[in-house]
Amino acid sequence: MSRFIPEGKSDLKSLQKSENEAANKFATEKEAEETPSLYDQMKANYIAKEKAYEDKVKAKNQSHKIDARELEFYNQLQREKEAKEMERKRQLDEELEEFTK
């Protein structure tokens, strides 16, 4: 509150009242500026959710570079699969040969 009284205003109570009103008006204007509109809030929420979804999809679609240990494991699985297939084929050939005799 200012200690100086403007010319023509000698009533201290009315001066304090006008200053309080001005301070309240300033506070409400400041609050109104800080609070975004509902549209802006919804738009910000949409953008945040869209970004989270895009990050999730990006992480899901990222290619994974395999290391030597993983490569060896996959190669071992492939060799075992091929060995089983060869054994099955050999047994089938033997059974077919026995059947044709």
pLDDT at 1 over 60: no
CA 27 – CA 61 distance, rounded (Å): 49
Cβ-proximal residues to 5 (8 Å cutoff; 6+ apart), any chain: 12, 15
* 6: confidence class by pLDDT, cuts 50, 70, 90: low
Predicted local confidence at residue 16, as pLDDT? 80
pTM of the predicted model over 0.75: no
* 52: confidence class by pLDDT, cuts 50, 70, 90: very high
